Amino acid sequence: MGQTLFDKIWDAHVVSSAEGFPDILYIDTHFIHEVTSPQAFDGLRKRGLPVFRPQQTVATADHNVPTWDQHLPIKEELSRYQVDMLTKNCKEFGIELYGLGHPYQGIVHVIGPELGITRPGGTYVCGDSHTSTHGAFGAIAFGIGTSQVEQVLATQCLLQSRPKRMKIEVNGKLQKGVGAKDIILYIIAQISAAGGTGYAVEYAGDTIRSLSMEGRMTICNMSIEMGARCGLIAPDETTINYVKGREFAPKGEEWDKAVAYWQTLYSDEDAEFDSVLSFRAEDIEPMITYGTNPGMGIGVTQHVPETASLDIKEQVSYKKALDYMGLHDDEQLLGKPIDYVFIGSCTNSRIEDLRQVAEFVKGKHKADNVTVWVVPGSKQVQEQAIREGLDKIFNEAGFPLREPGCSACLGMNEDKIPAGKYCVSTSNRNFEGRQGPNSRTFLASPLTAAASAITGKVTDIREFLKEEELV
């Protein structure tokens, strides 16, 4: 019987496998950041252990950093202390740090791929659930807790049981204005925020194949939002072309050898999956979430579901979510006034996202009632955007381009959405308080976010695109 892509990569990384034990899985690169690593370093000190393979550990500061005036000391004391601790720990244990001010600094899931550290066939972990992003390269990548961060620092391995395998196929042609973010929000809305739990999900089908690496990263990034252990996409020409020539990508003979191996990385025709789901690209509208988990999403023209339509056991949680969001049964989000637009996060802060937004907002201006933040995923993305003149387009549109970091995705740094305010956000989570205490998040694509910033209300990007075609 054939093997799945996931199993091929997993098997190539099993150090030891024993009955009744989880496998000992070798980790190619361990990404760390300031929030989930300090207790792990403390653990090493208590054990008197070094970092086993410091050269396979890459650090950056992203969660706690301000996205304005990064050259100044971090104002918030605890944030500054945590970032300083990372610097100290990296120095003590011999780990490369792309900290604030470094040309490679950025969101951990943006810098790994753009530096050519993330490659097909590899295993990647990080103390951050959106590590699933790296699976876009045809790699096994997932988030871990701090005890496991300590485990990987100490051994370069992780004890892990093999998850079940799921294939999600998307075939067909996307409507204009519909992109990768809409695809993944649609899938999660179909299968729920728990629909992928226990699975490694391989995304396949011609629609997925047609996506750029940036789009594929957006898809894999949100695998965790349906509970999946990880998401991955078989590498192809698009993948290889993206990796080629990047800073840490293999070169010369090594490159040819690597590519030859990467070309063997696909699920065999007769590979068996524990679950297979199929969706049609034509069915996908621009998506928006209305509730407090990413599974609570609808097409932008649809109405919020009625409480009575749900299973009685789910109604209490559902009503709590609608109350929090200040919405009611059967309400239409289209046309609802908003207060903030956040374009950024490890889901949608890559150069392609910024280019797409810039192209759309060129010559337009944001509505007066909306504050817009555009936060690049990395220093390299920021500089590329400036080289291409995107910052000027953004400024003229009232969309200031900030400095790289996780920003308003998680309500941890200075960028928070105030209580009660609505934010159309390109990030990945609409949990209660996620963007700041009592903030209200509508998750959407960069294009939907940009269009909503222009009109000041939740907007169907397709209407704009139709008008522009007429002109």
Partner 1 sequence: MTQTKTTMATKIFKHIQTTVVPLAIENIDTDQIIPARFLKATTREGFGNNLFRDWRFDENDQPKPDFVLNNPTYSGKVLVAGKNFGCGSSREHAAWAIADYGFDAVVSSFFADIFKGNALNNGLLPVQVSDDFLQKIFDAVAADHTAEVEIDLENQYIKISATGEQENFEVNPYKKACMINGYDDIDYILSQKNKIEEFEVR
Q: In the complex, which residues of this chain contact partner 1 (CB under 8 A)?
A: 15-16, 20-22, 24, 26, 35-36, 38-39, 42-43, 46-47, 49, 52, 63-64, 78-79, 81-82, 85, 127-129, 143-148, 150-151, 154-157, 159, 161, 163, 193-194, 197-198, 224-225, 227, 229, 292-293, 295, 313-314, 316-317, 320, 410-412, 419, 429, 431-434, 437-438
Annotate 160-219 with DSSP letters as a single string.
EPPPEEEEEEEESPPPTT--HHHHHHHHHHHH-TTTTTTEEEEEESHHHHTS-HHHHHHH
Q: How far is the CB of 26 from partner 1 (least distance, A)?
A: 6
The CA dihedral of 74, 80, 86, 88, to the nearest 10 degrees, is: 100
- Are 296 and 188 in contact by the 8 Å Cβ rule? The answer is no
Q: How far is the CB of 263 from partner 1 (least distance, A)?
A: 20
201 or 458: CB nearest partner 1: 201
388 or 414: CB nearest partner 1: 414
Q: How far is the CB of 145 from partner 1 (least distance, A)?
A: 4
161 or 278: CB nearest partner 1: 161
Rounded CA-CA distance 138/305 in Å is: 36
Q: How far is the CB of 57 from partner 1 (least distance, A)?
A: 15
Question: Which pair of tokens denotes residue 195?
Answer: 């629909």
Helix then strand then coil, % of the chain, to nearest 5: 40, 15, 45
Rounded CA-CA distance 314/323 in Å is: 14
Q: How far is the CB of 437 from partner 1 (least distance, A)?
A: 6
Find all residues with CB under 8 Å of 309, minimum gap 6, and list them: none
119 or 434: CB nearest partner 1: 434
Which residue, 282, 179, 160, is CA-closest to 222? Answer: 179
274 or 314: CB nearest partner 1: 314
Strand 199-204 relative to strand 422-425, pairing = unpaired
Rounded CA-CA distance 6/163 in Å is: 10
Rounded CA-CA distance 12/205 in Å is: 25
Local structure of residue 361 (DSSP, 8 states): H
Q: How far is the CB of 294 from partner 1 (least distance, A)?
A: 9
Q: How far is the CB of 97 from partner 1 (least distance, A)?
A: 16
Q: How far is the CB of 142 from partner 1 (least distance, A)?
A: 8
285 or 415: CB nearest partner 1: 415
323: phi then psi, degrees, rounded to nearest 5: -60, -45
Q: How far is the CB of 326 from partner 1 (least distance, A)?
A: 16
91 or 365: CB nearest partner 1: 91
Q: How far is the CB of 39 from partner 1 (least distance, A)?
A: 5
CA distances from 2 to 223, 269, 333 (A): 24, 7, 46
Q: How many of the other CB atoms lie within 10 Å of CB of 328?
A: 12
380 or 426: CB nearest partner 1: 426
1 or 78: CB nearest partner 1: 78
Which secondary-structure segment (H or E) carries 109?
A: helix 108-114
Rg of the Cα trace of the chain? Answer: 22
Question: Which pair of tokens denotes residue 221?
Answer: 């990034």
Rounded CA-CA distance 45/135 in Å is: 32
Rounded CA-CA distance 466/471 in Å is: 9
107 or 385: CB nearest partner 1: 107
Annotate 238-250 with DSSP letters as a single string.
HHHHHHTT-TTS-
Rounded CA-CA distance 175/108 in Å is: 32
345 or 452: CB nearest partner 1: 345
- Give bridge partners of residue 123 from the DSSP assignment: 140
Question: Which pair of tokens denotes residue 286?
Answer: 């621009």
Q: How far is the CB of 197 from partner 1 (least distance, A)?
A: 6
Rounded CA-CA distance 281/228 in Å is: 21
Q: How far is the CB of 123 from partner 1 (least distance, A)?
A: 12
130 or 366: CB nearest partner 1: 130
